[in-house]
């Protein structure tokens, strides 16, 4: 079960990275937009599946990237 969750967090991170890059945003840009000013390491950890994300934070990320949450979790 834990291995499946890790895989899903990695897929979520890849979706966040892809969407962020499509929006021409840096990790630092996105971090500032979601209330993590000057903390690109936070976004780095998310994008690499190294950090779990709350629903609230996922909504903030989707809003910042101007997509729906479902667009990030459609895997």
Gap between the Cα atoms of 46 and 40, Å rounded: 10
Q: What kind and span of H or E run contains 6? A: helix 2-22
Indicate whether this model's pTM tops 0.75: yes
pLDDT < 50 stretches in the chain: none
Q: How many CB atoms lie within 10 A of CB 16?
A: 24
pLDDT digits (tens, 9 = 90+) for 35-46: 987 777 999 999
Chain centre to alpha carbon of residue 3: 19
Q: What class does CATH assign to 2-72?
A: mainly alpha
CA–CA distance, 40 with 62 (Å, rounded to integer): 17
């Amino acid at each position: 079960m834990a291995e499946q969750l890790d895989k899903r967090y990695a897929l979520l991170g890849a979706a966040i990275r892809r969407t962020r890059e499509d929006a021409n945003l840096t990790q630092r840009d996105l971090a500032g937009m979601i209330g993590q000013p000057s903390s690109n390491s936070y976004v780095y950890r998310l994008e690499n599946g190294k950090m779990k994300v709350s629903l609230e934070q996922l909504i903030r990320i989707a809003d910042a990237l101007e997509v729906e949450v479902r667009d990030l979790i459609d895997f």
